[in-house]
Amino acid sequence: MATTNKIANKNLIIVGQKLKLKAAAPVADNTTYTVKSGDTLSQIAADNNMTTAQLAAANNLSNADLILVGQTLKLTAAATPAPATTATTTTQTNSAAATNTTTQKTTQAATTTSTSTSTATTTGSTTNYGTFKLSFYDPAALGSNMGYSGVAANLSVFPKGTHLKITLSNGTVWYRTVNDTGTFAYSNPHQLDVAMPSSQIPSAGILYATVEVLH
């Protein structure tokens, strides 16, 4: 206790003096080892979780079989640099060798169009609108100078400027261009009023014919 409290005179203590009751434990030195008789380098290394090579390298020992009694050995292995790691990255690029696009074009041979109550069928350069009722008028007799190349029609069926091929049942063909309309046309979409000199108007007055639109 005298040693622990650094008391030179064991017979002299003072009232109120604080005394340490436990001696301070000596601090072990784990960084070195003193060689004893019978020691081997491999055994010292194993006892301190080192390899023989690490212990020899830490103490610069060229001969691991030669150590001396009383020799102090360092127990800290020299830091060994970590081996360089080479990372190889493989990038796979997937590319399509070729993209073939096939575009199929479908040509419709016949197109059916419903206009008002008419059914039209397109064949080649004409569209057949079926059978129409024909009436006749003489523009000159009405004081008009429109001539005889035109025809009056329901403009929702045949807009102005439409070129028509009119085929009678006896095979006679007339070519006319829609250039007029009339009150008859609104209630009779299947009727055409054909311009014609009075002298040439058929005596029957009313005929039926196949009407085609020219393209």
144 assigned to some structural domain: yes
Q: Both tokens of residue 148? A: 């005889």
- Evaluate whether 151 touches 162 at the Cβ level (below 8 Å): no
What's the pLDDT at 98?
43
209 assigned to some structural domain: yes
What's the pLDDT at 80?
52
Same-domain pairing of 128 and 202? yes
Grouping H, G, I as helix, E, B as strand and the rest as coil, residue 41 is helix
What's the pLDDT at 26?
58
110 assigned to some structural domain: no
Mean pLDDT by runs of 10 across the 215 residues of the chain is: 78 78 63 91 91 91 88 76 48 44 44 47 87 93 90 94 95 95 86 92 89 95
**Has this prediction a pTM greater than 0.85?**
no
What's the pLDDT at 92?
45
What's the pLDDT at 157?
95
Neighbour count for residue 134 (Cβ, 10 Å): 22
CATH of the domain at 193: 2.40.40.10
Residue-wise pLDDT for 147-196, tens only, equals 999 999 999 999 999 999 999 999 999 999 999 997 888 789 999 999 99
CATH of the domain at 40: 3.10.350.10
Same-domain pairing of 126 and 68? no
Split into its structural domains, the chain has a count of 2
The boundaries of the domain holding residue 60 are 32-74
Same-domain pairing of 59 and 132? no
The whole-angstrom separation of Cα 48 and Cα 98 is 67
Residue 37 dihedral angles phi and psi, to the nearest 5°: -65, 130
Neighbour count for residue 211 (Cβ, 10 Å): 26
What's the pLDDT at 126?
92
